[in-house]
Structure 1
Amino acid sequence: MADKLRAQQQLEQLQARYIGVGHADTTKHEWMNNIQRDSLALYVGHPALLQHFSVALNEPQQKVRKMFIDKTIQPCGPPKDKDAEMED
């Protein structure tokens, strides 16, 4: 029983420390936003990946970087209404 309680406490500590881990009330839209933001931050933070995307998109590297940073605001678009999320 103590192991189960300890595991639950560790999970709660991780959820408090790292927002992207999620919790029982995390919606599908929030989860997808967290994943997209993590990915975009990774691309912006690694110059080799950013260069790869700039070559693939045939755009200057600084323009691709700005595009990725701008996209972190709403990476998956505006949230849906609550009724539509319940159906998914």
Structure 2
Amino acid sequence: MKMTVKEVDTDKIIFTPQDNDSFYMDDESLCLCLDSVYAEDVTLPYHVEAGEVFVLRVNGYYAMHEDGDDIPDIAPVAIIPEQYYVE
């Protein structure tokens, strides 16, 4: 699933879905909380910046993580920079 990085800080990355996939189609933004157990197995390829596009391997489920905002949390299996992803 292609997503654009909307915002990055030390604790989280907020993505905006690009595709109209069946996963998360009603969500305007999705969050990967870097301080949660869901991010332990995710390797970031390099310093991530707003505006970059990534392909996230996801299972369609939400992560159960309370971080105090209203943005749904996700637990991607992989984060691949768009330029390295071959469809």
* TM-score in terms of structure 1 length: 0.20
| Structure whose alpha-carbon radius of gyration is higher | 1
**Per residue, is there more strand in 1 or in 2?**
2
**Per residue, is there more helix in 1 or in 2?**
1
